[in-house]
Amino acid sequence: AQKITQTQPGMFVQEKEAVTLDCTYDTSDPSYGLFWYKQPSSGEMIFLIYQGSYDQQNATEGRYSLNFQKARKSANLVISASQLGDSAMYFCAMRPPGSTGNQFYFGTGTSLTVIP
């Protein structure tokens, strides 16, 4: 079974600083998709960024970038210039190899707190 591991239960970052949230995954299939979601205290999951396993370049979306190291099976999220509104839970997720559906496997999440 596919497995997503987020080893940082909680992280703190100073406002305006950059922070990296770790994510490793386990799959033997060459084709898969990796995602990051943000979940504020309100509960709603917000899509941040997507990386396909065959994508040659690391994905970027505004202040979010994904440091994709395929050989290490890691997909770390980098948030630049942190803002107070970035305080939330962050989840790494994977769509199973070969899946045409939306059956996602999620990590346990990292709680990020931005300090003013």
Partner 1 sequence: KAGVTQTPRYLIKTRGQQVTLSCSPISGHRSVSWYQQTPGQGLQFLFEYFSETQRNKGNFPGRFSGRQFSNSRSEMNVSTLELGDSALYLCASSPFTGPRRNEQFFGPGTRLTVL
Q: Which residues are near partner 1 by CB under 8 A?
A: 33, 35, 37, 42-47, 50, 52, 91, 93, 95, 99-109
Shortest Cβ distance from residue 60 to partner 1 (Å)? 15
Least separation in angstroms between CB 21 and partner 1: 16
Do 40 and 27 meet the contact criterion of CB atoms below 8 Å apart?
no
Of 30 and 81, which CB lies nearer to partner 1 in the complex structure? Answer: 30
CB nearer to partner 1: give 44 or 116. Answer: 44
DSSP class of residue 38 equals E
Asked whether the beta carbons of 3 and 69 are under 8 A apart, the reply is no
Nearer to partner 1, 28 or 44 (CB): 44
- The answer to whether the CB of 94 falls within 8 A of the CB of 25 is yes
Q: What is the DSSP letter of 28?
A: S
- Work out how close the CB of 114 gets to partner 1 at its nearest, in angstroms, rounded to a whole number: 22
User: Which CB sits closer to partner 1, 18 or 46?
Assistant: 46
* Cβ burial, residue 20 (10 Å; 0-12/13-18/19+): middle
